[in-house]
Amino acid sequence: MLRLTKKADYGLMALKYLAEQSLVSGSAVVAQSAKDVAEAYHIPPQLLAKILQTLARAGILVSHAGANGGYALARPASDISAFEVIRAIDGPLFITSCITIHGTCDLAGHCTIKEPLRKVNDSITELLSGIHISDLVEPSEAVASAIGGGLVSIAL
């Protein structure tokens, strides 16, 4: 079974939260502390801080220092794909060990499943590339969250 890692799941949840906060404030750049995001989704704060740092190094988030510092989306939520986030956190996506960045495995000459698995891998990549952070957020959810104090979790 294919599953997102907890880190990738938390990363997507954090980006969804940041996108919602941008909608609520009406501003494209709203810095939120790692602590606020962690509390909103009950994510271990130290783990989330590392994930957010990784996303900032990948250019997906911008880090703001200072008393009102925190993290904000580096680009509009509609320009950030789920695939980009997952790749930044977990590295390249390969569903099987025969498809790697290092080339082929020892059985490449005799393998009969490499090509079908490559097609599956490509389909997953294409699907995740077509899902954007903005797709995870609905404006009515963001406004309701701000008013009601609760957040809706994502399910992929």
Which pLDDT tens digit goes with each residue over 118-138?
888 889 999 999 999 999 996
pLDDT of residue 90: 92
Condensed to tens digits (0 to 9), the pLDDT of residues 45-84 reads 999 999 999 999 999 999 988 777 899 999 999 999 999 9
Which residues on neighbouring strands pair with residue 73, listed in sequence order? Answer: 61
Least confident window among 45-49, 83-87, 151-155: 151-155
DSSP assignments along 18-45, one per residue: HHHHHHHHT-S---B-HHHHHHHHT--H
Mean pLDDT of the chain: 82
pLDDT of residue 148: 47
pLDDT higher than 70, residue 152: no
Question: How far out from the chain centre does Cα 156 lie?
Answer: 11
pLDDT of residue 117: 80
Condensed to tens digits (0 to 9), the pLDDT of residues 25-42 reads 665 566 899 999 999 999
Question: In sequence order, what are the residues at sequence separation of 6 or more whose Cβ sits closer than 8 angstroms to the Cβ of residue 113?
Answer: 98
pLDDT of residue 66: 79
Q: Judge contact between 85 and 12, C-beta under 8 A.
A: yes
pLDDT of residue 151: 45
**Given CA atoms 112, 124, 37, 28 in this order, what sign does their dihedral have?**
positive
pLDDT of residue 103: 60
Domain residue ranges of the chain, discontinuous segments joined by +: 6-148
Backbone angles phi, psi at 32, to 5 degrees: -120, 140
Torsion, Cα of 46, 34, 89, 149 (10° steps): 120
pLDDT higher than 90, residue 4: no
Q: Which runs of E-coded beta strand occur in the chain?
A: 61-64, 70-73
The CATH number of the domain covering residues in 6-148? 1.10.10.10
pLDDT of residue 107: 67
